[in-house]
């Protein structure tokens, strides 16, 4: 399996990963967040430490993994990562997605925790300028998560993370869930 500096995005193909999704869905609090018909469509692994350090500027997650290209005026930003195809669907699709971040290690304030702009997920797709302006106006909240904790977010929530200065490996499994069907004849590249 190939990885970039931060990790890999292709874990849903692994049996252990699909079993972990099933286990997560047994949890009553998670079950209350993920609609029963939703499918897990992606799992990314991120690792961050003083030795394997990286930062992510403020952004929204706008791309979803799909099986094949479909020409439609509302689909843009086609890209390929680790051999998988991604597209930016309209906001009506993105605002239905849910991400869960399962923290394998403790993630304190110094470990490159996510910082988020509260309420930004409800504002649709934001330009970089609008994102930066909104962060200045509303402020960003750093979100430490304890070991084994799960952080739930909408992919449209503005988020960023700093380099780690602490001692955690800050390993995170980032799951993306969505509705079983996509519009425009799109299909998930993988769903479980």
Ligand X SMILES: O=C(O)CCC(=O)C(=O)O
Give the residues lining the site for ligand X (CB under 6 A): 46, 56, 61, 112, 114, 159, 161, 172, 174
Nearest to residue 142, comparing CAs of 122, 124, 159, 163? Answer: 159
Is there a contact between 113 and 56 (Cβ–Cβ < 8 Å)?
no
> Which residue lies nearer to ligand X by CB, 66 or 101?
101
Instruction: Evaluate the CA torsion angle 11, 16, 21, 27 in order and state its sign.
Output: negative
We find the least distance from the C-beta atom of residue 46 to ligand X, in angstroms, to be 4
> Which residue lies nearer to ligand X by CB, 75 or 170?
170
Q: How many CB atoms lie within 10 A of CB 92?
A: 10
Instruction: Evaluate the CA torsion angle 69, 71, 75, 79 in order and state its sign.
Output: positive
> Which residue lies nearer to ligand X by CB, 62 or 70?
62
103 vs 46: CA distance, rounded Å: 10
Residue closest to ligand X when measured from CB atoms: 161
> Which residue lies nearer to ligand X by CB, 75 or 162?
162
> Which residue lies nearer to ligand X by CB, 1 or 28?
1
Is there a contact between 179 and 96 (Cβ–Cβ < 8 Å)?
yes
> Which residue lies nearer to ligand X by CB, 54 or 184?
54
We find the least distance from the C-beta atom of residue 110 to ligand X, in angstroms, to be 13
We find the least distance from the C-beta atom of residue 30 to ligand X, in angstroms, to be 18
Cα–Cα separations (whole angstroms), residue 149 to 28, 45, 146, 164: 14, 15, 5, 19
We find the least distance from the C-beta atom of residue 190 to ligand X, in angstroms, to be 17
We find the least distance from the C-beta atom of residue 84 to ligand X, in angstroms, to be 15
180 vs 192: CA distance, rounded Å: 10
We find the least distance from the C-beta atom of residue 147 to ligand X, in angstroms, to be 15
């Amino acid at each position: 399996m190939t990885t970039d500096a931060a990790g890999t995005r292709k874990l849903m193909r692994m049996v252990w990963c699909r079993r972990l999704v099933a286990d997560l869905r047994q949890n009553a609090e998670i079950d209350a967040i993920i609609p029963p018909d939703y499918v897990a469509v992606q799992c990314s692994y991120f690792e961050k430490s003083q030795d394997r350090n990286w930062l992510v500027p403020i952004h929204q997650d706008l791309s979803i993994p799909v099986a094949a290209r479909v020409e439609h005026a509302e689909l843009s930003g086609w890209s390929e990562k680790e051999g998988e195809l991604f597209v930016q669907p309209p906001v009506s699709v993105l605002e239905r997605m849910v991400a869960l971040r399962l923290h394998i290690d403790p993630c304190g304030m110094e470990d490159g925790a996510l910082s988020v702009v509260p309420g930004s997920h409800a504002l649709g797709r934001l330009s970089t300028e609008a994102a930066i302006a909104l962060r200045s106006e509303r402020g960003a909240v750093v979100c430490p998560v304890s070991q084994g904790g799960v952080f739930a977010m909408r992919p449209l929530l503005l988020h960023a993370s700093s380099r780690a200065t602490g001692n955690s490996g800050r390993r995170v499994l980032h799951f993306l869930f969505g509705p079983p069907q996509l519009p425009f004849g799109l299909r998930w590249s993988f769903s479980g």
